[in-house]
Amino acid sequence: MASISTLGVGSGLDLSSILDSLEAAEKAGLKPISAQQTSYTAKLSAYGSLSSALEKFQTANTALGKADLFTATSTTSSSTAFTATTSGSAIAGKYTIKVTQLAQAQTLTSQQTQLDNKSAIATSDSKLTIQQGGDKKPVTIDISAANSSLTGIRDAINNAKAGVSASIINVGGGEYRLSITSDDTGADNAMKLSVSGDSALQDFLGYDGADSSLGMKESVTAQDAELYVNNVKIVNSSNTISNALEDITLNLTDVTTGNQTLTITKDTSKAETAIKDWVTAYNALQDTFSSLTKYTAVDAGADSQNASNGALLGDSTLRTIQTQLKGLLTNTSGSTSIKTLAQIGITSDPSTGQLEVDDDKLEAALKKDASGVKDMIVGDGKKTGVTTAIGSNLTSWLSKTGIIQAAKDGVSKTLNHLTEQYNAASTRIDSLVARYKAQFTQLDILMNSLNSTSSYLTQQFESTDSSKK
């Protein structure tokens, strides 16, 4: 007898609907596992958001932890001929500056001209030796006869990285000259050039420190910068001078007209900006805490919590970080009279946990005692100071062995276990439904057979009864 292709056709029963209902009833048991998987996946993502927020605050905390913020200075020059930059330890004051000469890099230019860039000058392979000053090692460059054109010489010098650079100058009228310039300024970096192996190339490139009718000629003289600081003469090989005034770097761009003034003043704006950025980052972190622990009340007797609740509502890891961080802000610190953030105008809103800044109070504290503010905020950079303590804890929390990673590992382990549970239950349900379907199919076949037999017997009885009549 042929098998029944559609359940219920042979028996007349709605076996397909019955099978679907049985399957749905069995799969309802997967919903609690699936709900747990969704919850733990959301929690794992939330730990990622928590880490990201802590890292952003860590960046601001590290920036505020730089001690030189609190000793920063600004510079003002009365002349465009020089500018200055300072380190955190520069002393405020005024300085008289007069620049009488800028440092220059020496340039040598060939006296002989060439009619093109490609024709060889030498007839033999040779070596060019470049000597700069008396304390630098000479650099020797191989120049083949075949490669002794202006282009070849230029490229050989530049590829040697000998502390000089070569270029070709088109002087007009179809004539070209070779120019060689020292990379460094100052009289001590003046060059001498000598060629061995080819006299023609020596006559073209040679230079012994004095101009002659042959070889190269000095077109720009190597010279040191000369200036007067508070009427004290200073000579330097560079136009960037960092050793004349302590923690002040002068950058010379021109000579001055007589004496000019450099003014160094205290600059509290950098510290003020860093503190405000730190507060902004801290408040952003608090917003993340609030979002991840959001609670929405539900009606009494509701089956479940509101779906809009934060993924880390009631989470012990987040609560530990939040509590410890708050404690680090309230601990007194500093060896001066300034020991708390409140003393410099930073207070906490008890209802939100957000920090608020009194701009006037902060600015006044920095101007009056920037060193004391630094001592309270930065401390010794090792154990004391608000940013130091917070930085140490942030590093610990975010480390590969920290509490956030431990929480992530725990959630991942649970998710793996739930996946195993779900897969096992799903496999069991699939097997059960397959068994139900096989049994229903056999029932359908049997009922179809019985129905066929019943119809056949009925026909026989009816035929017999008709013949008797």
Same domain, residue pair 258 and 404: no
- 458 inside domain: no
Same domain, residue pair 4 and 92: no
Domain that holds residue 240: 73-102+225-266
Same domain, residue pair 447 and 311: yes
- 150 inside domain: yes
Same domain, residue pair 292 and 420: yes
- Tell which wins on pLDDT, 439 or 206: 206
Same domain, residue pair 262 and 278: no
Provide the 3-class DSSP secondary structure of residue 381: coil
pLDDT at 26: 73
Question: In the sheet where 240-245 sits, what is the strand order?
Answer: 82-86, 248-252, 240-245
Same domain, residue pair 142 and 230: no
User: Is pLDDT at 458 greater than 70 in this prediction?
Assistant: yes
Same domain, residue pair 292 and 405: yes
Same domain, residue pair 316 and 342: yes
Distances (CA, A) of 290 to 293, 390, 400, 419: 5, 20, 25, 30
Same domain, residue pair 318 and 439: yes
- Total domains in the fold of the chain: 3
Cα–Cα distance measured from residue 251 to residue 84, given in angstroms and rounded to the nearest whole number? 6
- Tell which of 201, 220, 239 closes a domain: 220
- 447 inside domain: yes
Asked if residue 229 lies in contact with residue 99, where contact means CB atoms within 8 angstroms, the answer is: no
- 275 inside domain: yes
- 160 inside domain: yes
Same domain, residue pair 396 and 432: yes
Closest by alpha carbon to 437, among 3, 12, 18? Answer: 18
Q: Is the dihedral of CA 140, 145, 147, 153 positive or negative?
A: positive
Same domain, residue pair 215 and 354: no
104-140 confidence digits (pLDDT tens):
999 999 999 999 999 999 999 999 999 998 778 999 9
- 468 inside domain: no
pLDDT at 144: 95
- 83 inside domain: yes
Compute the mean pLDDT over every residue in the chain, rounded to the nearest whole number: 87
148-194 confidence digits (pLDDT tens):
999 999 999 999 999 999 999 999 999 999 999 999 999 999 999 99
pLDDT at 446: 74
User: Is pLDDT at 12 greater than 60 in this prediction?
Assistant: no
Q: What is the percent of the chain where pLDDT is above 70?
A: 92
Work out the average pLDDT over 271-292: 94
Same domain, residue pair 36 and 152: no
Work out the average pLDDT over 21-49: 79
Provide the 3-class DSSP secondary structure of residue 424: helix
Cα R_g (the chain), whole angstroms: 44
Question: In the sheet where 73-77 sits, what is the strand order?
Answer: 73-77, 260-266, 93-101, 225-229, 232-236
**Taking phi first (over 0 means left), then psi (-120 to 50 degrees means alpha), and beta for anything else, what does residue 386 get?**
alpha
pLDDT at 457: 77
User: Is pLDDT at 391 greater than 90 in this prediction?
Assistant: yes
Residue carrying the six token digits 């028996």: 11
- 163 inside domain: yes
